[in-house]
């Protein structure tokens, strides 16, 4: 019942101020250089100061906001969807980028991929509770074998195909996570409605 809300709220990190951002798109910008991207990154950086690696945290936020800028943000439902899509995509893209920066991508095992994925979750959520740790474990567990296969086949793909495949894996794992959480919660009693 509220399980899907929990997943959405866990995945929808930065958009605490999005209604303001959406309204800002319709109003004249106070400065010409103030873009959605810069406003989003500022909001991202303002959400948590406890992360140990501020550079990686900012890079993650920039990737996240770059994705968000390509999504429709016309209402709160669209904002929630954009937050979920962009968070799940950015987690996987950044996990693989991190392995690539360490020159470990081509030889990465599923355990390496899983660890890198968990590292990204820890970057975004430095103080994870048990519930969020389970979400991270489920999400990374879903993605690791598909990402390993993708890495093996990446020499035969364009960069765009590679990026799109990561996005597909992210969507598939987010859907599996939402589905498993909705089956764990009890069905609504007859005569009641569930809140979405």
CB atoms near residue 82 (< 10 Å): 20
Mean pLDDT by 10 residues, the chain (196 residues): 41 38 42 76 83 88 94 90 94 94 85 96 91 94 96 93 97 91 52 38
Residue 135's nearest CA partner among 87, 167, 97, 100 is 87
Phi-psi group of 63: left, alpha or beta (phi > 0 → left; psi -120 to 50 → alpha; rest → beta): alpha
**DSSP letter (8 states) at residue 166:** H
Q: What is the pLDDT of residue 27?
A: 42
Quote the pLDDT of residue 105. 84
Q: Alpha carbon of 78 to those of 71, 171, 182: distances in Å?
A: 8, 16, 21
Residue 184 has a pLDDT of 58
CA angle 123, 124, 127 (to 5 degrees): 80
Residue 92: both structure tokens together: 């996987």
pTM of the model: 0.77
């Amino acid at each position: 019942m509220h399980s899907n809300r929990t997943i959405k709220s866990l995945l929808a990190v930065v958009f605490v101020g999005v209604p303001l951002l959406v309204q800002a798109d319709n109003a004249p910008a106070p400065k010409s250089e103030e873009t959605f991207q810069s406003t989003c990154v500022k909001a991202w950086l303002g959400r948590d100061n406890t992360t140990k690696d501020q550079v990686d945290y900012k890079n993650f936020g920039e990737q996240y906001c770059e994705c968000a800028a390509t999504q429709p943000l016309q209402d709160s439902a669209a904002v929630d969807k954009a937050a979920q899509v962009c968070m799940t995509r950015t987690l996987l893209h950044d996990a693989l980028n991190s392995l690539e920066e360490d020159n470990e991508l081509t030889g990465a095992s599923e355990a390496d991929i899983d660890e890198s994925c968990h590292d990204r979750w820890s970057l975004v959520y430095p103080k994870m509770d048990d519930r969020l740790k389970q979400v991270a474990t489920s999400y990374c567990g879903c993605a690791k074998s598909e990402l390993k296969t993708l890495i093996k086949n990446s020499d035969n793909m364009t960069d765009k195909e590679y990026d799109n495949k990561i996005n597909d894996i992210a969507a598939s794992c987010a859907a599996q996570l939402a589905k498993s959480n909705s089956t764990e919660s009890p069905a609504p009693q007859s005569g009641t409605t569930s809140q979405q």
